[in-house]
């Protein structure tokens, strides 16, 4: 489907919906944080083009993009799921339950911890 110097794209053999595509970088990395900065444009440029192509080719109303890092990652190689979407297609939000913050203070503490990790 797509074979470029830095990226491959092919149909998922267990699709959420027909037309579900996996986009993978050719250099082996397991998770997104391991992907070299110079590989971001080739990989996510392909994701962008595949998303548009899925909508055009399959008359989808939109598309959903997902990446698993470690947890739920069936294959230990970074891959981006690009899934065609249509209104009332049966897919509701995320596949997992939502967890609420206890209060605004807990939410602020989590945000602060992430901010410290970004600057630390």
Strands 80-85 and 62-66: antiparallel
Identify the band that residue 99 occupies on the pLDDT scale cut at 50, 70 and 90: confident
pTM of the model: 0.87
Total Cβ atoms within 10 A of residue 67: 13
Catalytic-labelled residue, pool 20, 63, 79, 81? 79
Q: Tens digits of per-residue pLDDT, 16-70?
A: 999 999 999 999 999 999 999 999 999 999 999 999 999 999 999 999 999 989 8
3-state DSSP assignment of residue 5: coil
79 is catalytic: yes
Q: Domain 2-95 maps to which CATH number in 3.20.20.70, 3.40.630.10, 3.40.640.10, 3.30.428.10?
A: 3.30.428.10
Q: What is the mean pLDDT of the chain?
A: 93
């Amino acid at each position: 489907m797509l074979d470029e110097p830095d990226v491959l794209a092919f149909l998922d053999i267990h699709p959420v919906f027909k037309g579900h595509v996996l986009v993978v970088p050719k250099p082996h990395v397991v998770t997104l944080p391991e992907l070299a900065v110079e590989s971001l444009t080739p990989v996510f440029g392909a994701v962008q083009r595949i998303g548009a192509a899925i909508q055009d080719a399959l008359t989808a109303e939109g598309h959903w993009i997902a990446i698993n890092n470690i947890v739920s990652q069936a294959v230990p190689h970074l891959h981006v799921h690009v899934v065609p979407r249509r209104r009332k297609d049966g897919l509701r939000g995320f596949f997992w339950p939502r967890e609420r913050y206890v209060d605004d203070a807990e939410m602020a503490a989590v945000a602060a911890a992430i901010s410290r990790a970004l600057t630390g």
